[in-house]
């Protein structure tokens, strides 16, 4: 999350655009990590599209959205 924050902080955008971009990128990265975990473990033990949605959705929501908002409340873009 620190690397994503540092990269976005270097872009030439205003603060509200940086905040939105950070939340979106963090959600996508969290969802992709959930997909990779499901591909490693889920195909054998948790088959079906419902488990795929759970493995992608919960990290995207909790780590992506809530984690980003918590990180943005403690750190500010320049």
Question: pLDDT (tens digit, 9 = 90+) per residue, 2-48?
Answer: 899 999 999 999 999 999 999 999 999 999 999 999 999 987 888 88
**pLDDT > 90? residue 61:** yes
Query: Looking at residue 46, what is its pLDDT?
Result: 87
Q: Yes or no: say if 19 and 75 are a contact pair by the CB < 8 Å rule.
A: no
Query: Looking at residue 21, what is its pLDDT?
Result: 94
- Which residue in 69, 71, 57 sits closest to 28, CA to CA? 57
Query: Looking at residue 43, what is its pLDDT?
Result: 77
Give per-residue burial for 32-49: e unless 16+ CB within 10 Å, then b.
ebbbeebeeebeeeeeee
């Amino acid at each position: 999350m620190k690397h994503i924050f540092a990269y976005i902080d270097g872009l030439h955008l205003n603060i509200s655009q940086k905040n939105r971009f950070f939340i979106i990128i963090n959600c996508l990265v969290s969802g992709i990590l959930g997909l990779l975990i499901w591909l490693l473990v889920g195909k054998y033990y948790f088959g079906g599209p419902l488990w795929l949605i759970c493995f992608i959705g919960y990290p995207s929501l909790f780590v992506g959205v809530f984690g980003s908002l918590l990180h943005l409340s403690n750190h500010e873009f320049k």
